[in-house]
Amino acid sequence: MPFVIAGMVFTLLVAIGFIIGTNIEHSAHIRQVQQITTARESEPILAPEMTKPWSHRIIVPMLERISGVIGKLAPSSVLQTNRQRLQQAAHPWGLTAEVFLMVRVLTTLVGLSIAGLILLRGLLPGNITWLAAIAAASVGMLAPGWMVDRIAQDRRREIKKDLPNIIDLLVVSVEAGLGLDGAISEIIERESGPLTEEFEQTLTEIRLGKQRQDAWRNLAKRSQVDDLSAFMAAICQAEELGSSISRVLRTHSDTLRIKRKIHVRELANMIPVKMLFPLVFCIFPSMFVVILGPGAITIMHTMGNMAK
């Protein structure tokens, strides 16, 4: 009997301890929640714009406003020219015509400021000062346009390089039973590069309701690649006349392969001419030094001993 009473007392003490511990833990959780709620209520409610970095809140709106003013003051022909240049370069860094014009104005002002500083301070002697000032002003005026044109040129080179392979894939897909749009969709999913990006944009324009011929012509206008322009013209003519697309693709693919072989042979024939300069001015002098140097040293020592 005493053991039973001791067990009941022990069980009662464990239950009381468990209840007290649970209440303490629950009270601690409640205090933590109250502290977090009080801290959040004491913080000021910020607008979503205030959570952005200061550059996005101050610099970007300022630049957009300045570019808007410059865009309103600039002639429409200048803006159209800048749009075409940026379109050919696929709008690098997300530039618009107005922002690009603003960048050109800013770089021009910086270049002219550096040129004026060079002239006023006289940092360089003589006529070099004028040359340095002209170079600084020229770089400031021409650097943004040169960078965009360089990107557009590299993009055209990549398009011209990838065009024969893409047309071969189109030929295989169309001859396998797919339509032209379906074949282009397959290429967009499987390949990457500037040409597939242009095809994706063209396919999006067609799906949004633009006339197919206009979409193909816009593609040729954006790319400024002769081979792609000829290919787009052949596609437009085949769709207007109802000709076989697969036959047109096969013919154009063979033509591009022949042109590519001819271009590779031209480059191979130019290699001896291009190697002439490094051979004459870099390799031959080193060979002469290595071959004739020891003999010349020996002759000099022999002549010196004979003179003694």
Give the pLDDT confidence of 53-79 residue by residue, as tens digits: 655 566 667 766 776 777 677 777 777
pLDDT at position 114: 82
Please name the residue that has the structure tokens 């006339």: 211
pLDDT at 33 over 60: no
The single-letter code of the amino acid at 283 is: I
* Domains contained in the chain, CATH given: 62-155 (no CATH), 159-263 (1.20.81)
pLDDT at position 82: 81
Q: What is the b/e burial string over 178-197, where b = at least 16 CB atoms within 10 angstroms of the residue's CB?
A: eebeebbbbbeeeeeebbbe
Range 139-143 contact pairs with CB under 8 angstroms and sequence separation of 24 or more: 139/111, 140/107, 140/108, 140/109, 140/110, 140/111, 140/112, 140/114, 140/115, 141/104, 141/107, 141/108, 141/111, 143/107
Distance CA 216, CA 203 (A): 9
Q: Angle between the 128-175 and 76-88 helix axes, to the nearest 10 degrees?
A: 60
Percent of the chain past pLDDT 70, that is, above it, reads 76
297-308 average pLDDT score: 75
Lowest mean pLDDT among 66-80, 241-255, 256-270, 291-305: 66-80
pLDDT, greater one: 45 or 99: 99
pLDDT, greater one: 153 or 22: 153
pLDDT, greater one: 110 or 307: 110
Percent of the chain past pLDDT 90, that is, above it, reads 0
pLDDT at position 122: 67
Lowest mean pLDDT among 35-49, 57-71, 148-162, 228-242: 35-49
pLDDT at position 136: 80
Distance CA 131, CA 127 (A): 7
pLDDT at position 18: 38
Q: Report residue 2's pLDDT band, with 50, 70 and 90 as the boundaries.
A: very low
Report the candidate in 216, 173, 217, 163 with the shortest Cα–Cα distance to residue 194: 163
Q: Report residue 21's pLDDT band, with 50, 70 and 90 as the boundaries.
A: very low
pLDDT, greater one: 67 or 278: 278
pLDDT at 27 over 70: no
Q: Report residue 40's pLDDT band, with 50, 70 and 90 as the boundaries.
A: very low
pLDDT at position 60: 63
Q: What's the mean per-residue pLDDT of the chain?
A: 75
pLDDT, greater one: 178 or 44: 178
CB distance 100 to 78 below 8 Å: no
* pLDDT tens, residue by residue, 164-212: 888 888 888 888 888 888 888 888 888 888 888 888 888 888 888 888 8
23-35 average pLDDT score: 49
pLDDT at position 8: 43
Q: How far apart are the first and last CA of the chain?
A: 133
pLDDT, greater one: 68 or 252: 252
pLDDT at position 58: 67
